[in-house]
Amino acid sequence: MSTTSIYRRIARRETHSPRSALAITLAVILILVSVWLGTEIVLSMIGQPALLVAPTDAEQSIVSAATLPYGILLAAGIVLAIVGLVLVIASLTAGRRARHVIETDRAVTVVDNNVIAAALARHAAYAGGTDPDNTHVSVFHNRAVVDVTPSSGTTSDTAPIKDAVDQQLDAYGMRPKLRSKITVKKTGKVGA
């Protein structure tokens, strides 16, 4: 196995989250329902009262479900279809962690989005001539959103901030590549 394929596997493992929590939750729910059904059947066989619903009553309810109003049956079917669709989509798509990979030849470098946001905020504040506390950056999968609030009585130009942020993003060489969106607020912040 080559080094690049190992690096690729490590990078994927660090940037994508497994669906373990969903699988464990569904397994626990199925186990609890199975235990409950088994308990109800055993209680029915030995002539004891049911915990929640006796198997014969449950069977009668299912058989008589066709007599319910059409709207209720349609709504229940739609809800079940949506739950099933969500579970199928969740099982087929990979979860994403808030991390990016920096391209290097010798190692796998994974950087958290909060670290990227802090670095971009510092550079954007310097380029815009604002206080770093007045700069807020949110980093998503393929986008960095920079919100700058200038000090009261001053203005900040968007172009130098965008240039500084884009230059930093290019220098980092992240995968997937981030695009920047800069927003300079019209009203300033007092005291900064």
Domain map (residue ranges) of the chain: 3-68, 99-184
Q: Which residue has the higher pLDDT, 179 or 151?
A: 179
pLDDT category at 6 given cuts 50, 70, 90 is confident
What string of H, E and C letters represents the secondary structure of the chain? CCHHHHHHHHHHHHHEECCHHHHHHHHHHHHHHHHHHHHHHHHHHCCCCCCCCCHHHHHHHHHHHHHCCHHHHHHHHHHHHHHHHHHHHHHHCCEECCEEEECCCCCCEEEEHHHHHHHHHHHHHHHHCCCHHHEEEEECCCEEEEEECCECCCCCCHHHHHHHHHHHHHHHCEECCCEEEEEECCCCECCC
Q: Which two tokens stand for residue 28?
A: 């626990």
Q: Which residue has the higher pLDDT, 77 or 5?
A: 77
pLDDT category at 66 given cuts 50, 70, 90 is confident
Question: Nearest CA to 149 among 129, 178, 165?
Answer: 129
pLDDT category at 65 given cuts 50, 70, 90 is confident
Give the pLDDT mean for 95-110.
81
**Residue 99, pLDDT score:** 86
Please say if the pLDDT value at position 192 is more than 60.
Answer: no
Q: Which residue has the higher pLDDT, 44 or 12?
A: 44
